[in-house]
Amino acid sequence: MTKIHPTAIIDPSVKLAAGVTIGPWCVIGPDCEIGEGSELVSHVHMDRHTRIGRENVLHPFTIVGGPPQDKKFAGERTTLEMGDRNHIREFASIHRGTGNGGGATKMGSDNLVMGCVHIAHDCNIGSHVVLSNNAMLAGHVTVCDYVNVGGGCGLHHFVRLNTCAFLGAMARVSKDVPPYMIAEGNPAEVRGHNAIAMQRRGFADAEVDAMKEAYKRLFRDRGGSIMEKVAKLRAEYPTFTSIAQVCDAVLEAGEGTHGRSQEALRPDDKRNHPSIAAAASTVPKK
């Protein structure tokens, strides 16, 4: 049975599935959809064009589907899409995408987004992710499955955190973090392999040990090119998918800009974008 508190303000276009609970003083804007069993505890603001799945819990003073903080955004229709069983804690904010950045911010399922986390426009968050208090994600960030981000971390735009990566608290992350690795510091650097995450996901001891060796060769040992090190790792551990993933991620980051494999996706500074064109038209021509 759907429960709606009398103080809630809900646009007529909103679609509510069975068993949804809308608490006091929540505001839900146009073209939103809330899946079965989800709960907005109280004082939640869901701006517009937002779809969340089943059994999500949004705690007080969260803002989801808000407009992107991007000067190029000109009010075009963009979305926020969220999966199932996510917990979004107090004062977190998750913004919609931008028209020239893919048009959507996306989140998978079974994530914990702690208090005061900010997820900017066009981010892509996987599943089983933990974003600790005050983590700050700039636009176009990708966070893959089973990533753990420590409190107060700052992520540069277009950064990619690969599967099972772990960020220590207060890390300043300006380049990709490979899968199954631990990064920390300012600027963040790879400091070890994430053996605990691998063990929790059922990797055999031999594969965890191989990842430790990969960490040593790729991030600690001096001498030799990355290409040579990657080739040797692939040859020694041809059956371990995790080793192949690390090798791929390292090469992709190296081919990117400033260690960010996704930086090539950055939209050009298009002079024909509506907001830019409108501003340019007001500048007197010499």
Active-site residues: which are they? Answer: 121-122, 139
Do residues 29 and 65 make contact, with C-beta atoms less than 8 angstroms apart?
A: yes
Scanning the structure block, which residue is given the tokens 């907005």? 40
Do residues 57 and 41 make contact, with C-beta atoms less than 8 angstroms apart?
A: yes
